[in-house]
Structure 1
């Protein structure tokens, strides 16, 4: 059976892709690798699905960056083409992908015309679904201890948990019987023997290539559902918010403040005029409402000045290191070991 993707391992195999990029209007982008976006991590696969995205006959291009990384001229041509403002780049968790691609010299954060569908999911909850603060905080259960959320609920009203691609698909296609098992390729990856640590293996098992192709197809379906249902038209700030989202990545000096599941502050809306402070965690310059009063004034000089998000990240990390409180009750924690 013929592959439902183009596997690019040589400079020659990139030529059809480079030609197609000259006329395409939209590209769905996905990255795979070992510890993506983290210190010491590496991107090994770049997946690109070009318009027409809705055509089932359109095959994704799966680029093997372990074999292509030495061909700098071809990769330069590729990234120059992707940087074009005439091509819409659609991603899911572009913050992580942007950090991974930065190692190859491509700055997704500086690329024009990018939409992040992970961010779109959060904006949909806020602007279209009218999610309440209680519902928003409920999403943090399991990532933060129940007791922490109960005692400090007001602190978490500005914090949004970012969804995984699997959960985004389930949310969007929940009542669509024709897409009942849409997230199955993602849900079953461990059962099928697909592990993060093996993306650097060569030769790469075909199931990894099929998975990479499936991911960009699923991101494409998510994008088209937003488009067809008119949600993209209602999320008028999505593109500028995506720019802020991508720009927030990779500034922290401590790893845990870079790789986590929370939306950085001042992304959904531009920062309001007024005093600003730099967070010692994410290193972002944020408005005063991103900090507690004691953090703004640095009343305790021995403590870091942490924004609400970084404070939550620190508590999450401490909880995972010590899963039992003083009463011996287990803290709820996220069982997925991938912080992204």
Structure 2
């Protein structure tokens, strides 16, 4: 369901807000979440209760003061409605830096997937540097059957009217997130610690917005001290690369200027 008017979005939200407890969420845009980027689409699909409909909100069709958009953002910030995402860092940045919206109550399936991969290798520790993997790898490794994603022009997210291919692509992503969540939930792969870990993960760049080409804030490695946070050690050392304050355990030596992840880059 494409929502590109106040009436359509209000109608969709009336159904969502009246009953939903868990939603799958995904965003699309140009340089999504980065400085100078633009949020284009927000896709939402109710998981609990389950729904056959995916709501695709055309953000560009609404003014910044839109009452309907404010209702949607209230859902994003809600602590009673859980949001299921797959690598929600740039989604969070788009909401936070473009609209001042702080996403809460999130479970990130990418983190759940990383933990499953670590658990398969008993000699690996959550404190080590770990590679991040995308949704396609997650689906394949966990035996989740899904139709392949179409190839699209990712530079065309701001083009209006938006083509059916792009709308279908965006809606399909949120359906895949729902499929991953359902399988992980059924198999007991979602630990109670994931909620706190996910909030740390998606808010990593709430200190300042990532920029295009910044390899220290956008790379294929899991940032340190997300899965495990040492409460006994102060996070008082600034990494010269990612500009995060971390504990001394995240650096190769006491003299090192960069954390293990940035050092590996």
- The verdict on a shared fold, with TM-score over 0.5 as the criterion, is yes
Alpha-carbon RMSD: 2.2
Q: 2:108 aligns with which of 98, 116, 126?
A: 116
Question: For 2:74, what is the secondary structure of its paired residue?
Answer: helix
Deviation larger for 250-259 or 7-16? 250-259
> Residue 130 of structure 1: CA displacement?
3.2
SS of 1:126 mapped into structure 2: helix
- State the distance in 2 between where 1:200 and 1:118 align: 27
**1:184 match: secondary structure:** coil
1:82-97 matches, within 5 Å, as: 82-97=76-91
Correspondence 1:246 to 2:246: no
Structure 1 stretches of 5 or more lacking a match?
1-5, 137-155, 299-304, 316-340
Q: Deviations over 1:207-235 (max 9, x none)?
A: 11111111100100000000111222xx2
What's 1:147 paired with?
A: none
Mark the runs of 5 or more structure 2 residues left unpaired by the alignment: none
Which of 98, 104, 107 is the matching residue for 2:99? 104
Q: Secondary structure at the match of 1:51?
A: strand
Q: CA 1:131–1:199 in structure 2 vs 1: closer, same or farther (change >3 Å)?
A: farther
1:195 Cα deviation from its structure 2 partner: 1.6
> For residue 17 of structure 1, what is the aligned residue in structure 2?
12
Query: What TM-score does the superposition give when structure 2 sets the normalisation length?
Result: 0.90
Q: CA offsets per residue over residues 320-340 of structure 1, 9 Å max, x none?
A: xxxxxxxxxxxxxxxxxxxxx
SS for the counterpart of 2:89 is helix
Aligned residues: 259
**Greater helix proportion:** 1
Structure 1 contact 279–285 (Cα < 8 Å) conserved:
yes
Q: Which secondary structure does the structure 2 equivalent of 1:256 belong to?
A: coil
**Normalising by structure 1, what TM-score?**
0.71
1:273-323, Cα deviation, whole Å (9 max, x unpaired): 135311122222211111121xx336xxxxxx21111222xx3xxxxxxxx
1:47 correspondence with 2:19: no
Partner Cα separation in structure 2 for residue 94 and residue 278 of structure 1: 24
Tell me the SS of whatever aligns to 1:78: helix
Of the candidates 221, 241, 245, which is equivalent to residue 281 of structure 1? 241
Matched, 1:199 2:151: no
